């Protein structure tokens, strides 16, 4: 009986193990469970009826896979023009993809090129993994800014252009003026190599009475100039320049002539319609005025003494000036000459000067020397207000 009992017990144990194995296999195949340790002992030692298997739960659902979006379908907000500064320019971007606003370094990276000199700069954005891929490109302009608050005014039959400096780096200005709106007649250009000067007086008279003027800024980079857009064209009507009409038929394209403006106390050297030089001067004071009219150079003396009229009562000359340099005579005893003793001749062109001579045209010594050598005998001299 004892032997029979042992056989039955062993048989039952085998059946239980077999049933547990079949059940575990079925659960594994259906993907619900997996054996923690097949064939390993459970918490018991097998003597208390344990099956000898441990079964655990497992989530075998496949992980979600993210598909990166192509950033080339995004939209970059337009970038406004940037003023040239001499440094590399890196504007902030506004990038959207559908309804999503993308963020730099999280969703994309940026690469700039040609973003220092005036011209067209390029921006390339690249999608950043794992959410984005692809590239997208845009451009923006680096410009030299146009002068601001540009104006014209008329005074003494001439026109003065004025403006204010615009933002960014600027090295100077160019002023263009002409007697017609298309800038084809009497077109002239004045280059101002400074940003401190923000005005220009057109002192050369035109035969016509209309002035058309425009201005632009520039920067110099190495040996190349980069320009702004022009200001819009402004025009002014001036009075008829009567004194000029009297001599215009005597002036050819290569004719040298000299203009003395008594109201401005300036001597202008011209060649045809071109202004060559402009010099400060001091002409005759009210008691001894410089005569007005049209004259011509008739005598030159490099260095000599000058004397005023003889006074028979005092038995003295009106004045005596020793060693007067670079005298260029154009009417009677009236001449251009160096006058280092007259402080008026050293004042800037845009500053008011006072007539203080005995009738001659006082100039700085260097300026009088230039005129002496520049103007040949017979050079036309016009003196006017």
| pLDDT of the residue at 51 | 44
State the residue for tokens 């619900």.
32
- Please tell me if the domain spanning 148-237 has the same topology as the one spanning 242-384: no
Widest Cα–Cα separation across the chain: 181
Structural contact between residues 226 and 84, judged by C-beta atoms closer than 8 angstroms: yes
Which CATH number applies to 69-143: 3.30.70, 2.10.25, 2.60.40, 1.10.3210? 2.60.40
Which H/E stretch holds residue 212? strand 210-221
pLDDT for res 20 = 64
**Which sign does the torsion angle of CA 78, 80, 86, 89 carry?**
negative
pLDDT at site 13: 67
pLDDT of residue 33: 45
Per residue in 108-142, pLDDT tens? 999 999 999 999 999 999 999 999 999 999 999 99
Phi/psi for 156 (5° steps) reads: 50, 40
Q: What is the pLDDT of residue 208?
A: 60
What pLDDT does 50 receive?
Answer: 43
Give the predicted TM-score (pTM) of the model. 0.52
What is the β-pairing status of strands 316-317 and 293-296? unpaired
**pLDDT value at position 301?**
96
Span 283-313, pLDDT tens digits: 999 989 999 999 999 999 999 998 766 666 7
Can you give the pLDDT at residue 46?
44
Q: Which fold has domain 148-237?
A: Immunoglobulin-like (2.60.40)
242-384 maps to which CATH number? 2.40.440.10
The answer for residues whose C-beta is within 8 angstroms of residue 184's C-beta and 6 or more apart is 178
211 within 8 A of 235, measured Cβ to Cβ: yes
* For the chain, domain boundaries: 69-143, 148-237, 242-384
What 3-state class would DSSP assign to 275?
A: strand
Which spans in 174-285 are helix H? 242-247
User: pLDDT in tens for each of the 385 residues of the chain?
Assistant: 545 555 566 666 667 766 666 666 655 555 544 444 444 444 444 444 444 444 444 455 555 557 999 999 999 999 999 999 999 999 999 999 999 999 999 999 999 999 999 999 999 999 999 999 999 999 999 999 999 999 988 765 568 899 999 889 999 999 998 888 888 877 888 999 999 899 988 765 555 667 889 999 999 999 899 999 999 898 877 665 667 767 878 888 889 999 999 988 999 999 887 788 999 999 999 989 999 999 999 999 999 998 766 666 766 656 778 999 999 999 999 999 999 999 999 999 888 899 999 999 999 999 999 999 999 999 999 999 8
Q: Are 305 and 322 in contact (CB under 8 A)?
A: yes
């Amino acid at each position: 009986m004892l032997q029979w009992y042992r056989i039955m017990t062993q048989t039952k144990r085998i059946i239980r193990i077999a049933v547990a194995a079949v059940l575990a296999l079925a659960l594994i195949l259906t993907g619900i469970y997996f054996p923690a340790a097949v064939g390993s002992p459970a918490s018991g030692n097998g003597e208390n009826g344990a099956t000898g298997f441990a079964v655990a739960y497992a989530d075998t659902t496949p992980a979600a896979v993210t598909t990166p979006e192509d950033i080339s379908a995004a939209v970059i907000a337009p970038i406004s023009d940037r003023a040239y500064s001499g440094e590399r320019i890196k504007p902030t971007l506004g990038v959207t993809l559908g309804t999503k606003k993308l963020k730099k370094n999280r969703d994309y990276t940026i690469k700039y090129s040609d973003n220092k000199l005036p011209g067209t700069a390029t921006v390339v954005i690249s999608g950043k993994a794992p959410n984005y891929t692809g590239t997208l490109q845009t451009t923006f302009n680096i410009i030299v800014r146009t002068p601001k608050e540009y104006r014209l005014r008329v005074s003494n039959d001439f026109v003065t252009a004025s403006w204010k400096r615009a933002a960014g780096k600027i090295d100077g200005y160019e002023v263009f003026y002409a007697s017609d709106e298309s800038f084809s007649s009497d077109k002239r250009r004045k280059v101002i190599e400074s940003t401190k000067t923000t005005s220009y007086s057109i002192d050369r008279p035109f035969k016509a009475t209309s002035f058309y003027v425009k201005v632009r800024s520039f920067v110099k980079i190495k040996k190349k100039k980069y320009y702004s857009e022009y200001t819009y064209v402004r025009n002014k009507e001036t009075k008829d320049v009567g004194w000029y009409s009297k001599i215009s038929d005597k002036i050819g394209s290569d004719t040298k002539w000299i203009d003395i403006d008594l109201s401005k106390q300036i001597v202008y050297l011209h060649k045809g319609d071109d202004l060559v030089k402009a010099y400060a001067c001091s002409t005759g004071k009210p008691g001894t005025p410089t005569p007005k009219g049209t004259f011509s150079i008739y005598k030159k003396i490099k260095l000599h003494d000058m004397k005023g009229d003889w006074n028979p009562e005092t038995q003295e000359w009106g004045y005596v000036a020793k060693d007067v340099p670079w005298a260029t005579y154009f009417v009677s005893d009236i001449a251009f000459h160096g006058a280092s003793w007259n402080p008026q001749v050293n004042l800037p062109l845009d500053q008011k000067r006072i007539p203080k001579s005995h009738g001659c045209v006082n100039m700085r010594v260097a300026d009088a020397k230039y005129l002496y050598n520049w103007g040949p005998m017979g050079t036309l001299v016009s003196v006017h207000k």
